[in-house]
């Protein structure tokens, strides 16, 4: 099954968002799905319009410069309209069966519009609005979370050292 992930930005830009997103698409690939990525014009790293990173195809929606894009709110609307057009074109080209939008809403709405236009099921990933800081290091895909009845999500594979015990 081919899944088109709509991202704000991705590798080679390094951030928590890009690492989490990369772990998700890599996990899907490792479990038999065929993920493809499209990034918004907010992906500021200089990259080709289409590239393969870690065996996963990445499409870039390149930014356009004109006077209207400097006007507040007009820029966001223009970005979302351009994103919706490119998402639809890439979904057809890649024969995507699911559109999976990652936050923020500037990706979610264009993905939803494209999904409705193409009659492809949409999916959206939203992180919790208030999450505790993640202790430890390493990529997020190495962290294991579990849920026990009556408790919040807990990170099982990591433990915060006692204050001063790591000195």
Out of 3.40.50.12280, 3.40.50.2000, 3.40.50.1220, 3.40.50.10190, select the CATH number for domain 2-127. Answer: 3.40.50.2000
pLDDT tens digits, residue range 122-148? 987 655 555 455 554 444 454 444 444
| pLDDT tens, position by position, 41-58 | 877 777 888 999 999 999
Positions of E strands within 16-161: 34-39, 50-53, 56-60, 98-102, 122-125, 145-146, 154-155
Q: Tell me the C-alpha distance between 15 and 20, whole Å.
A: 9
Range 6-11 average pLDDT: 89
Tens of pLDDT, residues 63-104: 766 655 667 788 888 889 989 999 999 999 999 999 999 877
Token couple for 112:
């939803």
* Overall pTM surpassing 0.75 (yes/no): no
Domain ranges within the chain, ordered by starting residue: 2-127
How do residues 146-161 score in pLDDT, each as one tens digit? 444 444 333 333 333 4
Q: Please give the pLDDT value at position 157.
A: 32
Give the number of other CB atoms < 10 A from CB of residue 100.
25
């Amino acid at each position: 099954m081919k899944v088109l992930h709509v991202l704000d930005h991705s590798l080679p830009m390094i951030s928590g968002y890009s690492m989490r997103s990369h772990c998700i698409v890599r996990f899907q690939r490792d479990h038999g799905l065929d993920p493809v990525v499209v990034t918004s014009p907010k992906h500021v790293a200089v990259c080709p319009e289409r590239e393969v990173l870690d065996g996963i195809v990445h499409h870039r929606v390149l930014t356009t410069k004109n006077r209207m894009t400097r006007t507040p709110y007009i820029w966001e609307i223009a970005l979302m309209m351009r994103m919706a057009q490119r998402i639809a074109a890439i979904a057809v080209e890649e024969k995507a069966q699911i559109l999976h939008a990652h936050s923020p809403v500037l990706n979610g709405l264009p993905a939803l519009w494209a999904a409705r236009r193409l009659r492809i099921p949409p999916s959206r990933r939203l992180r919790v609005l208030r999450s505790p800081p993640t202790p430890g290091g390493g990529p997020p895909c190495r962290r294991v979370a579990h849920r026990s009845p009556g408790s919040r999500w807990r990170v099982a594979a990591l433990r915060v050292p006692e204050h001063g015990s790591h000195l």
